[in-house]
Chains A and B, each alone.
Chain A
Amino acid sequence: MTAIALRPPEIVMRLQRLGAAHPTRLSFLRQLIRRAAREKWRVRKHLFDLDDNGFGRAVYAVETPARTYSLVAFSTPLDDEKRSDRVIAQAWDTSYALYDGLPDSAEIARLEANAPLQEAGRYTSRELVLARANKSVRLFEEVAATLAQGRQPDEEQLLGVGYLLRTTAVYGNGKFGIADRDEIASRPELAGSFQAEMLTVWLIRSFTLDLVDHIAHRRNPAGAARLAPDLRRALGVGNATGLGMAPFLVRHPLLTHSWFLARETALARVRAEPHAGKVERNAFSKSLADLRRRVARWHSDDSRQAAATRSLADDLDTLAENLDRLLAKPRPWDPLYRFAEHHFSLEGQEACVSLILEPHGTLVDDLGDTMKADETHGHAIDGSMSCASLRQALLDSYSWAESVDFADPAANARFWYVSAEKLEPRLGERFEEDGAELEQPLATARDALGLAAALSEEPASSRVADFLLRRPEWRHAVRRAQIVAKFPYAEIHDNLIGAELRPVDILRAKLAFFGARSFDPRSDRWLRIALFSGEPLIEDVGTAGEAA
């Protein structure tokens, strides 16, 4: 088999393409579903103590081969004017903790005193994840009312939104005192990226469905309908994500590299396949049809996304029309991808990547295990390197940045900072707002070019260690430069402080790796998505065959 080159970072790591990312079978929720199905995880309602209005507490216990984990859920009254997607909200309809083990009544009481407070509460190493979610008010009430009347809700309306509740934060890795990532990283079931967070959201999905059934039943015990199984499986969990998540990909360059490298390696493997078998063709056609249905329901008021979604629909029509011809060629997945590259929008191209991977689990799923990183190694600086070598490495890795003129105010228009009010990352206007002197070190391109200029003033053979001894202000940039030189997908190839920056592009890329769909930008810096829509329910995997 002749190898196919990986798509290079100068193609893959551009913001516009990141902003067109689609989930794939390597996405984290898909990896979780496959493991749960393979290991036949079992979920049971350990506690479901809700009143007629759906307020109270519930515990869903998941038994994996080695351990039990529990979603501890609290549902509380919330005034409508306090219901906000923003991280600065202080109250929510529901709150959750993923608990390590099965909590007793004292532990549930402890969590009930804290979880509804979210950031204002305090947690222990028994909690692995902390989350909250608000009802999609109109839809939730309408579904509850319709079910109470013994009828099923309108499918198109239901799936047009795609979820009944929307999470507004899902915290892991030691936040507010919960368990450190290191404490669970050696457990096979949670070792992959964001597996504990995805498990939490998967369980929240089941709780939201049970919650609406419960309310409908309490309103009309004799005549209420239960939400139909096909609708339950079609619904996911919503999520609103803002700027707080955006710096993650920048702050974790090794992890970012591992995610993109895995996806690009998977694509290259499939493109190098000599034939498309009948099973793979059928699976591709099924995935294409499923995506076309999803795209038809994909609604966004954002004019850019709406236009991109229309282009995607056209691209998928074109793909369907040309599919038989393309798959008849030798090494068919390569011409199929190249056809997309030549004829489709970025949305269409990235959707095509996802579709191409879909039938090829046996060929690519092992790459899921590589989508993590020990970031300790990247922390070390090679100070024996010469300043000239480092400068050359910078010029090679950041050649894409040379065209950016940071003396131009538009190229230097923004600065990232941490807000004193919420301790969250924010994006400021450098020439209009105070605080630029407290800028976070996220101006990757500007700092790389600045470092290269500083190094040019050093004797060529002088060592980086000596340079840093005199110029410690460049330490973060030297560390990054040495990482990026070795790990090509570690860096986003665009200016992250320019006037044209749309942080939602960064958010979308990360969320696509989670497995998100139905991207709905609400501004240039926050968006809504859906997770797990159309995927198996967690209560189904213990009894079903292995998920694809």
Chain B
Amino acid sequence: MIDLSLNEVETLSTKAARGAGFSWGLAEDIGRAARRIAVEDEAWGVAMLSLAENAQSFAAPDPARAARWRCGEADKPAERPLCPIRTAALLLDDPPSASAIPLAILDVGLPVWLDAMLRRSNMRVAERPELLTPRADVVIENRAEVAQPVTGRRGAIEERTLAALNSFAARTYVPESERSRVRGAGGGRVDDE
């Protein structure tokens, strides 16, 4: 196991999420959510890897479905499981009114991520999902207080999982050419002064 700082957890997860195809803004959200999972669960890396590997298999909430949630109407599942990140982003950006809570949402992929994303708000998933539950129906409820960030914790990760996440992160890197090696950061000389 390798012991990562939480900043490393966030940075790696942001890059891996971007490498897996999430937009920059959503990747930032995922990095912060990964940090929240890591302070509580040593298997955060596996959860992050699962998100990256399944990123393309989820469906975003369609506008009509989102409208039903706002009105408190019964949810209808889509063909593919809902993307937990896109769903959480929508709920965070424009929280449902009190009358729409508790809100039942059907067939959410990797619901631990929905819960982790919502934890920076006054919403939560009623029954906290298991880390690797592939898909589940969830109920969103309100809570009295927003959880404060935990400090003094680390994010352990197995080397194999780390390597797999690094391979997703590497999709965001640009290989060096000789030109960029010389020009990229300036300098390029031996320091003799």
Contact = CB atoms under 8 A, between A and B. Distances in A.
Given A180-B151, A379-B32, A418-B172, A476 B185 contact: no
Nearest to B93: A383
Nearest to A528: B193
A167 to B, nearest CB: 12
Contact of B186 (A420, A432, A524): A524
Contacts of B188: 86
B94 interface: yes
Interface in B136-192: 149, 151-152, 154, 170-177, 179-181, 184-192
Contact of A381 (B24, B32, B93, B179): B93
A454 interface: no
B192 A137 contact: yes
Nearest to A480: B25
Given A433-B179, A469-B61, A180 B191 contact: no
A420 B176 contact: yes
Contact of B25 (A428, A432, A478): A478
B177 A434 contact: yes
Contacts of B186: 242-243, 522-526
A433 B180 contact: yes
Contacts of B8: 174-177
A179 B185 contact: no
Given A183-B151, A419-B174, A469 B60 contact: yes
B28 interface: yes
Contacts of B192: 80, 83, 137-138
Contacts of A81: 190
Contact of B181 (A87, A421, A465, A474): A421
Interface string A414-448: 00011111111011100011110010010000000
Contacts of A292: none
B185 A424 contact: yes
Given A134-B191, A182-B149, A465-B90, A418 B179 contact: no
Interface centre among B4, B25, B149, B151 (most CB of A within 10 A): B25
A420 B176 CA distance: 7
Contacts of A134: 191
A438 B187 contact: no
Nearest to A475: B25
Contact of A427 (B89, B121, B171, B184): B184
Contacts of A379: 28-29, 32, 120
Contacts of B5: 125, 173-175, 177-180
Nearest to A81: B190
A354 to B, nearest CB: 27
Nearest to B184: A426
Interface centre among A124, A136, A419 (most CB of B within 10 A): A419
B90 A469 contact: yes
A523 B187 contact: yes
Given A433-B180, A465-B93, A472-B86, A420 B7 contact: no
Contacts, number: 186
A182 B173 contact: no
B187 A522 contact: yes
Nearest to A172: B7
A476 B25 contact: yes
A35 interface: no
Contacts of A186: 151
A434 B154 CA distance: 37
A383 B174 contact: no
Contacts of B23: 472-476
A85 B180 CA distance: 17
Interface centre among A80, A417, A463, A477 (most CB of B within 10 A): A417
Interface in A157-191: 173-183, 185-186
A526 B182 CA distance: 13
A523 B189 CA distance: 12
Contact of A418 (B174, B187, B191): B174
Contacts of B66: 466, 469
Interface in A371-424: 376, 379-384, 417-424
A347 to B, nearest CB: 22
A468 B89 contact: yes
Interface in A510-543: 522-526
A85 B191 contact: yes
A381 B120 CA distance: 12
A473 B18 CA distance: 11
Given A174-B5, A469-B86, A474 B25 contact: yes
A82 B174 CA distance: 25
Contacts of B3: 124, 177
A481 to B, nearest CB: 11
A178 B8 CA distance: 10
A468 B85 CA distance: 12
A418 B188 CA distance: 18
A427 B63 CA distance: 39
A438 B19 CA distance: 10
A86 to B, nearest CB: 5
Nearest to B173: A420
Contacts of A181: 7
A433 B171 CA distance: 17
Given A183-B151, A383-B93, A475-B23, A242 B187 contact: yes
Given A180-B7, A379-B28, A479-B25, A428 B174 contact: yes
A173 B123 CA distance: 29
Contact of B93 (A85, A174, A382): A382
A342 interface: no
A142 B191 CA distance: 16
B131 interface: no
A464 interface: yes
B15 to A, nearest CB: 8
B190 A84 contact: yes
Contact of A180 (B2, B6, B89, B175): B6
25 contacts: A83-B190, A86-B185, A174-B6, A180-B5, A182-B6, A182-B149, A183-B151, A242-B185, A380-B120, A383-B92, A426-B184, A426-B185, A432-B179, A433-B180, A438-B171, A468-B93, A473-B24, A474-B23, A475-B28, A476-B23, A476-B28, A479-B25, A525-B186, A526-B185, A526-B187
What are the nearest 6 A-B pairs in CB distance? Answer: A475-B25, A383-B93, A174-B7, A174-B5, A435-B174, A465-B94
